[in-house]
Chain A
Amino acid sequence: MEQLISISGGLLYASFVIYLIATVLFAATIRDKRKEKKFSLINKLAIGTTILGFLTQLGYFITRWMASGHAPVSNMFEFVTFFGMMIVLAFIIIYFIYRLDILGVFTLPVALLIIGYAAMYPRDITPLVPSLKSHWLWIHVTTVALAEAILAVSFVAGVLYLIKNINQSKSTARTKWLEIIMYSLFATLAFVIITTAFNIADYEATFEYEVDNNQVEIEYHLPAIFGPKDGELLTEDRMDAWLPTPEWMRGAEAPRKWNTLVWSLAGGLVLYLLTRLILRKRIGAALQPTLKKVNLQLLDEVCYRAVAIGFPLFTLGGLIFAAIWAQEAWNRYWGWDPKEVWALITWFFYAIFLHLRLSRGWHGEKSAWLAVVGFAIIMFNLIVVNLVLAGLHSYA
């Protein structure tokens, strides 16, 4: 058993490295200066490596399932990792339809960021409480993850469309919003880097504070910029908190989560500003030349096609399967739990997307912005709803 778990962990790690290599290979395909578009060796190598990475991660998934005895999609680490894996799968599928290399250069890093983000959660195999013991749980969760992954591809295609289409010769609201998208990717990267760094350094500081008249202890793994309100530092030789966590941050471990968020946002800002200092132009402007050879219409088509596939799949997994499971576990198919409500919001949003596109002709850039907002809603549901608006589904 122990062995199986360590094999599983090794496979996940290996897949991460393989995806990194695949990203580099895809980047090499667009550096390819030759005019005529061909499916040459480098393309084959790039997609082949991606598939190898996917199979390796599938190996992680299967071995972990064998070790734990239930589908490994039952806590934050497992779900987010699986989501990353589904993004790679969605990319592979879309790649075989459209053969769009540039999509690989940008989708694989998003998958890597997400898997990196997952790795920051506790990685222990967790037991299932009775209400989670249903086949419908993993059927529901895996379908949702795949649907959201396909919608993530529409996000990437949308962002590429924006990078290519937005006029970078002067600063406008559109260039600013594009930079905000870029910044949020940097903030995620900062989160992964900072958390990993302090993990390796084994940083630990314990605070004691009061919740509902009980003294509780909370363990920080990052230096506390924001500590618990009226908290007391118990560990010696550690930096005491500078500021108290605002009161509206609620739920279990709220001060620690808030502190991590602030670290990530600040770290993201540093990374972003450094990059801009080096590039001496907007990130969007710096990326624009890499898309010279890409057909805008094709990006628009990929962006829409991904929604056309993702929307019914999301309806099936996120609403219908979810309802069947809720009916079995809590005898009501819908309970207005925050997580459920945000799934409904996601569904409403993509319904709006389709109507604006099909009935009111919102193609091209408008459609691309909508794809970005849609993905922002999905990430909001995955991160903020879990951390702040905790409900029945909150894994963390």
Chain B
Amino acid sequence: MKCGHCGTENQTGTAICNNCGQPLDNKNETKLLNMRYDGAAIRSKTRNKSFVDKVWNFFSSVKIGVTLIAIALIASALGTVYPQQMYIPPTVNPSEYYEQEYGITGLIYYQLGFHELYSSWWYMLIIALIGISIFIVSIDRGVPLYKALKNQNPKRHPSFIKRQKLLSHTVHVTQEEKEQFIERLKKKRYKIYEKDGHILAEKGRFSRWGPYVNHFGLIVFLIGTLLRFVPGMYVDEFLWIREGDTAVIPATNQEYYIENHDFIMDIYGQDEEDEKFADALEQTGSLVPKNFQTDVTIYKDDAKDVVGAQPELQEVQSGSIRVNQPIKVAGLTLYQDSYQQNEFQSMSFKLHEVEDSDEVAIAELTVDLTDPNKEYQFDNGYTIMLNEYFPDYTMENGVPRSQTNFPRNPGFVFFVYPPGETDPEVSFLAIGQNIPGDETNNYKLSLTGFDVRDVSGLSVKKDLTLPIVAIGAIIFLIGVVQGMYWPHRRMWIHPQENELLIACHTNKNWYGLTKEFEKLTDGTPIANVVDQETDTEMEPDK
């Protein structure tokens, strides 16, 4: 497309000559110029031939972008109708749970996969499409706009000037008056560009990049969330550790160890300063936790690289892990996550004769519940074998078994060998149960005591995507503020013999621009701007 005025070759689709500003849409002589993207050629508006063009045009339409956001909005709302799978009790079977709890609609919800909606392929696809749309729209419009604003010619064609929305037309203006006006523009922080006595005054151009900056921030954010799937970027492990124990910290390559000195749970109402909460606590009726805390020491294994060597633990740090106050070690963050109070540590028993009403001990033994011995021998010739041990005992269809490996409800099958006997007497023991294997048993084992301790559940996390996600969010906010709070204002000062034409343009808040123009020309003969759209003189009230 060749400009009829200055001969510059413009890209097809250009509405305003890049060089002289002569409008290239000669047909509508009278109408106002469309200043969107400064008349630059937008790819999606000029090409529509190949498949690539069609895909490009699809994604660079704001209508499609907004539709995609609306679809994401509705999909997100659907996911809150019933709880997501991660919020239902972990022990239940989701395929039954939703129907049981919510009836037929619950069943449909489950069958459609809405119980895991936010990790479904189609939800992620919607978000990805939004990302693609943002990316393409930014290039489609951002690049031409950048080029157009970078090479602005202060000297514009008269029909460019006359077809602006706001135009001031003054018949006689002296050189001094013009210069006074320009001085005031400079004071208002306008940048002045000049060519052959024609002047462009401009400010706030940077705000035009706001939307592109904020969309870039969104893309950075989305990429950040995707990086979680890259190995090494994200660690999410869990560690149960008992009081007094030392354990390897997962994901440290056996290099770091942690010792749990003490797990502490405080509840409200035990301190004098909690008195102010008395009414609320009474209302609740249940215990309200005040603090969950694990006191730990973290060690590093210095002998780790020596093959076959025993770990040589060097203390690295000691401290408390609380909710909201994690500890950091070796790039990992350790969070207080769960707890199990009063897990059995050991149980003590004594052996006595069934007939003995005083239950005088023949032998006494203590079973370490996390590492029980198989056999207990006594000086008086008795031997007791621990034949079977169920840490978390339950009866299922008449058969005893263990629900978990944690000693929460221990059950034992003991074989008692009196001196010289090879046939044992069998006893079964659990809390509240003491069942002889045989009615004719001569000996009986009785519980004499137990020790308990707490177990702390720590989650071990690393998330290297966090900084990227955070930077994306910050860029987004900067872009929003940049684009939203500053207008991009331009004035073209166009001398014509004795007359002076001044055209004004802004990307938002025209009212503010007319007000500023008023102030700038106050006391000079320069006329107020006329809004050529409505044909009224703009006279903002002072």
Q: Is A1 an interface residue (CB 8 A)?
A: yes
Q: Interface-forming stretch among B192-200, B377-385, B422-430, B476-484? A: B476-484
Please judge, given known A-B contacts A316-B477, A351-B69, A355-B62, whether A134 and B80 are in contact too, CB under 8 Å. Answer: no
Name A307-326 residues within 8 Å CB distance of B.
308, 311-312, 315-316, 319-320, 323
B contact residues around A39 at 8 Å (CB)? none
CA distance A389 to B102 in the complex (A): 13
B439-464 interface code vs A (CB 8 A; 1 in, 0 out): 00000000000000000000101000
Name A347-380 residues within 8 Å CB distance of B.
348-349, 351-352, 355-356, 358-360
Q: Are A336 and B73 in contact (CB under 8 A)?
A: no
Q: Are A356 and B66 in contact (CB under 8 A)?
A: yes
Q: Are A328 and B326 in contact (CB under 8 A)?
A: yes
Please judge, given known A-B contacts A328-B324, A355-B66, whether A315 and B461 are in contact too, CB under 8 Å. Answer: no
Q: What's the minimum C-beta distance from A6 to chain B, rounded to whole angstroms? A: 12
A contact residues around B337 at 8 Å (CB)? 331
Name B59-87 residues within 8 Å CB distance of A.
62-63, 65-66, 69-70, 72-73, 76-77, 79-81, 83-84, 86-87
Tell me which of A130, A333, A345 contacts B324 (CB under 8 A). A130
Q: What's the minimum C-beta distance from A160 to chain B, rounded to whole angstroms? A: 19
B contact residues around A92 at 8 Å (CB)? none
Name B151-191 residues within 8 Å CB distance of A.
none
Q: What's the minimum C-beta distance from A135 to chain B, rounded to whole angstroms? A: 9
Tell me which of B268, B280, B477 contacts A312 (CB under 8 A). B477
Name B248-283 residues within 8 Å CB distance of A.
268, 273-277, 279-281, 283
Q: Are B87 and A391 in contact (CB under 8 A)?
A: yes
Q: Is B389 an interface residue (CB 8 A)?
A: no
Q: Is A24 an interface residue (CB 8 A)?
A: no
Q: Is B347 an interface residue (CB 8 A)?
A: no
Q: Is B27 an interface residue (CB 8 A)?
A: no
Q: What's the minimum C-beta distance from B470 to chain A, rounded to whole angstroms? A: 8
Q: Is A126 an interface residue (CB 8 A)?
A: yes
Q: Is B114 an interface residue (CB 8 A)?
A: no
Name A113-135 residues within 8 Å CB distance of B.
122, 124-127, 129-131, 133-134
B contact residues around A69 at 8 Å (CB)? 273, 276
Q: Is A242 an interface residue (CB 8 A)?
A: no
Please judge, given known A-B contacts A131-B323, A133-B324, A391-B87, whether A348 and B76 are in contact too, CB under 8 Å. Answer: yes
Q: What's the minimum C-beta distance from B455 to chain A, rounded to whole angstroms? A: 18
Name B303-357 residues within 8 Å CB distance of A.
322-324, 326, 333, 335, 337
Q: Are B79 and A336 in contact (CB under 8 A)?
A: yes
A contact residues around B46 at 8 Å (CB)? none
B contact residues around A336 at 8 Å (CB)? 79, 84, 86, 118
A contact residues around B291 at 8 Å (CB)? 130
Say whether chain A's binding surface is mostly helix, strand, loop, or mixed. Answer: helix
CA distance A69 to B277 in the complex (A): 11
Q: Are A331 and B469 in contact (CB under 8 A)?
A: no
Which chain A residue lies CB-closest to B266? A130
Q: Are B80 and A385 in contact (CB under 8 A)?
A: yes
Q: Are A68 and B480 in contact (CB under 8 A)?
A: no
Q: Is B414 an interface residue (CB 8 A)?
A: no
Q: How many residues of B contact A (CB 8 A)?
A: 55
Q: Are B323 and A133 in contact (CB under 8 A)?
A: yes
Q: Is A342 an interface residue (CB 8 A)?
A: yes
Please judge, given known A-B contacts A315-B477, A320-B473, whether A125 and B87 are in contact too, CB under 8 Å. Answer: no
Which chain B residue lies CB-closest to A315? B477
B contact residues around A358 at 8 Å (CB)? 508
B contact residues around A345 at 8 Å (CB)? 73, 76-77
Q: Are B324 and A131 in contact (CB under 8 A)?
A: yes
Q: How many residues of A contact B (CB 8 A)?
A: 53
A contact residues around B72 at 8 Å (CB)? 348
Please judge, given known A-B contacts A320-B473, A348-B69, A355-B62, whether A311 and B480 are in contact too, CB under 8 Å. Answer: yes
Which chain B residue lies CB-closest to A136? B324
Please judge, given known A-B contacts A130-B322, A312-B480, whether A352 and B73 are in contact too, CB under 8 Å. Answer: yes
Q: Is B292 an interface residue (CB 8 A)?
A: yes
Please judge, given known A-B contacts A308-B484, A315-B477, whether A359 and B62 are in contact too, CB under 8 Å. Answer: yes
Q: Is B150 an interface residue (CB 8 A)?
A: no
Q: Is A338 an interface residue (CB 8 A)?
A: yes
CA distance A330 to B279 in the complex (A): 29
Q: Are A344 and B280 in contact (CB under 8 A)?
A: no
Q: Is A235 an interface residue (CB 8 A)?
A: no
CA distance A218 to B61 in the complex (A): 55
Tell me which of A68, A312, A319, A359 contacts B481 (CB under 8 A). A312
Which chain B residue lies CB-closest to A312? B480
Q: Is B466 an interface residue (CB 8 A)?
A: yes
Tell me which of B70, B290, B461, B476 contacts A352 (CB under 8 A). B70
Q: What's the minimum C-beta distance from B333 to chain A, rounded to whole angstroms? A: 7
CA distance A1 to B62 in the complex (A): 58
Q: Are A352 and B289 in contact (CB under 8 A)?
A: no
Q: Is A96 an interface residue (CB 8 A)?
A: no
A contact residues around B86 at 8 Å (CB)? 335-336
Q: Is A167 an interface residue (CB 8 A)?
A: no
Name B188-241 residues within 8 Å CB distance of A.
none
Please judge, given known A-B contacts A130-B324, A315-B477, A331-B326, whether A124 and B76 are in contact too, CB under 8 Å. Answer: no
Tell me which of A134, A349, A360 contacts B73 (CB under 8 A). A349
Tell me which of B80, B102, B273, B274 contacts A341 (CB under 8 A). B80
Please judge, given known A-B contacts A311-B480, A341-B80, whether A129 and B62 are in contact too, CB under 8 Å. Answer: no
B contact residues around A316 at 8 Å (CB)? 477
Q: Is B128 an interface residue (CB 8 A)?
A: no
Q: Is B108 an interface residue (CB 8 A)?
A: no
Cross-chain pairs A/B with CB under 8 angstroms, 25 sampled: A5-B276, A69-B273, A69-B276, A125-B277, A126-B277, A130-B324, A133-B324, A312-B480, A312-B481, A320-B477, A331-B333, A331-B459, A333-B469, A336-B86, A337-B87, A338-B80, A341-B80, A342-B77, A345-B76, A348-B70, A348-B73, A351-B69, A355-B66, A359-B62, A391-B87
**With A125-B277, A130-B323, A331-B326 already in contact, 7 other A-B pairs whose C-beta atoms are closer than 8 Å:** A127-B268, A130-B291, A315-B473, A329-B324, A336-B79, A336-B86, A344-B76
Q: Which residues of B contact A (CB under 8 A)?
A: 62-63, 65-66, 69-70, 72-73, 76-77, 79-81, 83-84, 86-87, 102-103, 118, 268, 273-277, 279-281, 283, 288-292, 322-324, 326, 333, 335, 337, 459, 461, 466, 469, 473, 476-477, 480-481, 484-485, 508, 511
The 10 A-B pairs with the shortest beta carbon distances in the complex, nearest first, are: A130-B323, A124-B280, A348-B73, A338-B80, A124-B279, A126-B280, A127-B277, A359-B62, A331-B335, A134-B324
